Amino acid sequence: MEKTNVCRILDQKKIKYEMFEYPHTDGVCVDGIEVAKLLNQDSNQVFKTLVCISNTKHYFVCVVGVSHELDLKKCAKAFNQKSLEMIPLKDLLNTTGYIRGGCSPIGMKKAFETVVDIDALNYSEIIFSAGKIGYQVKMNPKDLEKLIKVKFLDIKKVDLC
């Protein structure tokens, strides 16, 4: 299994994690719920990393469960911004160093403020991208505080069902 930069950072900081690899086609993004199925993991413990931009052109990172949608109004409030929108896909690689489907809150080009959905604290471990399509890491969500500036808040849309 290939070691990613995320794994090297976790190793360097001596943070416990488990790495998973799932079948994929190079460069082709796999839906997060499908990733959970491929890894035979609870989809509630699998999270996706999304990057937003404010009207003042500042970037923010949001980590939310793969079965949920991000609530941009809640995110704007969490970051003390007037409004946020998703970063244009064409800007993702240059801004973060990651491509769609391989974006991780760990190891971005710059240290962006990050909010992880509060649901992550319901689990002793969560799963998210290891920085490359086909690779995921499982770790204690509280350990993210040792690596990045992170807050845990409710940032998902309310399910109407």
Could you read off the pLDDT of 84-107 as tens digits, one per residue?
A: 999 999 999 999 999 998 999 999
Alpha helices in 79-118 (DSSP H): 89-96
Higher pLDDT, 28 or 147: 147
Q: What percentage of the chain carries pLDDT values higher than 90?
A: 81
Q: Using pLDDT thresholds of 50, 70 and 90, give the confidence band for residue 121.
A: very high
Indicate the pTM of the whole model.
0.93
- Please tell me the predicted confidence (pLDDT) of residue 34: 87
- Please tell me the predicted confidence (pLDDT) of residue 160: 57
Domains and CATH numbers, the chain: 5-153 (3.90.960.10)
Average pLDDT value for residue range 66-89: 95
Q: Using pLDDT thresholds of 50, 70 and 90, give the confidence band for residue 13.
A: very high
- Please tell me the predicted confidence (pLDDT) of residue 16: 97
Q: Using pLDDT thresholds of 50, 70 and 90, give the confidence band for residue 50.
A: very high
Task: Report the b/e string of 94-133 with b at 16+ CB within 10 A.
Answer: ebbbbeebbbbbbbbeeebbbbbbebbeeeebbbbbbbbb
- Please tell me the predicted confidence (pLDDT) of residue 27: 66
87 close to 59: Cβ distance less than 8 angstroms: yes
